[in-house]
Structure 1
């Protein structure tokens, strides 16, 4: 075979391979128009580990003085499936297995903590260190992620009581473009004393389905009218992002969220706040393995 003929054949093979790797138009069209059931599918003993990165920066100005605080963290979260009930509900443990944190606070030196290296945590990280490697909570979920039961095993003073424990999925089949909501009522403090209940929701939309992976858009929305002092307390909750969900395996592959919220007058006419946050969560490949069932001591 001549060099020209060999080159032509090689080009044909490469072109064929590239075409084969492209998504099938018929399948893509079918996935976009079909109804999809997005439910969690776990087995007893499953351990799903996620690498999480979180960065937050807040700038606040009051009475002409501006301060900045910044925090960065990297952690490994584990969901350990204890039981799957006949009705499909899932019981699992939530554990943080590793944690690295860096804090930069006004008029203080940068502080760091690494659970994999520091046998004794630096001052200010004691509570965080106690929460590593122990069951934080016992959670029971429906197959679509509604929390049926949440038992706190290790109390964390700085824990957010309104943080979502799992991504809420639609109870029934949905097509691309369909939406669903998770109502959340949040109590905030008022300057004159007392508290106020603010109605909010997490709004979800199935944006696309490609090769069996659903992309879900998530947006935080405030439904009640609020004043700047209340909006300032909610600033860190204005989270927009996307979730990638493996439909066949029934698990979240990744989450990406960010916040970029400015609030004027949160603590008086001359005050302002700017809160920025980026968070990513990615499932480790090793999480497909099945571990042994947790012992009774582990469950406690």
Structure 2
């Protein structure tokens, strides 16, 4: 059900600096955006959440297969691109415990289960508008759905955050410095979590990325996210259970586009709802650029 802001999109800038740096010490990775471009991605996502309390075990599973795109609306004089994100189609299923799985296919189903009714209303409509710098840094994000619908399709794992909260960014962020194979860079960012109905806490996450290879114009980048702030409260740890992913992405240096990304979460927390409790989240998301009509697939390793 987490369809909207997991769009993989990234792309490019016609009026920015060169993608390949003049610096002989390496190259700068930069996205290239061009006004009017529509870039499409195919994504599959599966999640399994297991909760154990004493002798009781509950398992929640969901899967989705979707096509999504972003459209470049404008580029300002500073090179900041404004993008609109849309989901074109989705096929999804959810199962709670031993109950019969429920499913929804936006291309086939005329009658929609109440569980997926809100999602069905978003298909083909702009979900959000992002402003992004050429290195992928998020300047702002603005939901475009009506507020009542937005609340129904966005799972509130944390409390509301600023429009430029890095945790909302769907883009990999590249450093300003030129890179060579083996170089690493770090991004730290803060997210707010709920202690109770009236009290919040800010925690810091750290993402470490490495340019692991550069071959045939494709940069392969590995990344890992970790929690920096010590957290002892079980309720807070539950909120952060799916916030520390690791994975790999492939970036086309010349085109300035992300062509694939794999994101993995496998994390277990013990004692989050009592001393005899355990929660484990396992998630796999794969995204690939959809070639333009008549174009061969971009990923050639």
Give TM-score, length-normalised by structure 1.
0.80
Local SS of the residue matching 2:109: coil
The residue aligned with 1:236 is: 242
The residue aligned with 1:254 is: 260
Q: Which runs of 4+ in 1 moved over 6 A?
A: none
The residue aligned with 2:6 is: none
Local SS of the residue matching 1:128: helix
Please state how far the C-alpha of 1:54 moved relative to its aligned partner.
0.2
The 1-side partners of 2:86 and 2:197 are apart by 39
1:59 to 39, 44, 50: 50
CA separation of 1:288 and 1:265: change in aligned 2, threshold 3 A:
farther
Please state how far the C-alpha of 1:183 moved relative to its aligned partner.
2.4
Local SS of the residue matching 2:140: strand
Per residue, is there more helix in 1 or in 2?
1
Local SS of the residue matching 2:238: helix
Deviations along 1:208-238, one digit per CA (max 9) or x if unpaired, are 1111111111111111111261322211112
Question: After the TM superposition, which of the residue ranges 52-61 and 188-197 deviates more from structure 2?
Answer: 188-197
The 1-side partners of 2:105 and 2:197 are apart by 41
The 1-side partners of 2:136 and 2:190 are apart by 18
The residue aligned with 2:154 is: 159
The residue aligned with 2:40 is: 49
Please state how far the C-alpha of 1:288 moved relative to its aligned partner.
9.4
The 2-side partners of 1:108 and 1:145 are apart by 42
Please state how far the C-alpha of 1:144 moved relative to its aligned partner.
0.5
Q: Whose radius of gyration is greater, 1 or 2?
A: 1
Please state how far the C-alpha of 1:128 moved relative to its aligned partner.
0.9
* Residue 223 of structure 1 pairs with residue 221 of structure 2: no
CA separation of 1:184 and 1:71: change in aligned 2, threshold 3 A:
same
The 2-side partners of 1:76 and 1:105 are apart by 25
Pairing 1:94-243 to 2, within 5 Å after superposition = 94-154=85-145, 155=147, 156-157=150-151, 158-159=153-154, 162-190=167-195, 194-227=199-232, 229=234, 230-243=236-249
The residue aligned with 1:82 is: 73
Q: What 5-or-longer segments of structure 1 have no aligned partner? A: 1-32, 290-300
Question: After the TM superposition, which of the residue ranges 42-51 and 177-186 deviates more from structure 2?
Answer: 177-186
Please state how far the C-alpha of 1:107 moved relative to its aligned partner.
4.8
* Contact 1:228–1:264 (8 Å) recurs in 2: no
The 2-side partners of 1:77 and 1:159 are apart by 17
Deviations along 1:32-58, one digit per CA (max 9) or x if unpaired, are x95111100121111110000000001
Give TM-score, length-normalised by structure 2.
0.80
CA separation of 1:212 and 1:288: change in aligned 2, threshold 3 A:
farther
* Contact 2:25–2:178 (8 Å) recurs in 1: no
1:93 to 81, 84, 87: 84
* Contact 2:62–2:94 (8 Å) recurs in 1: yes
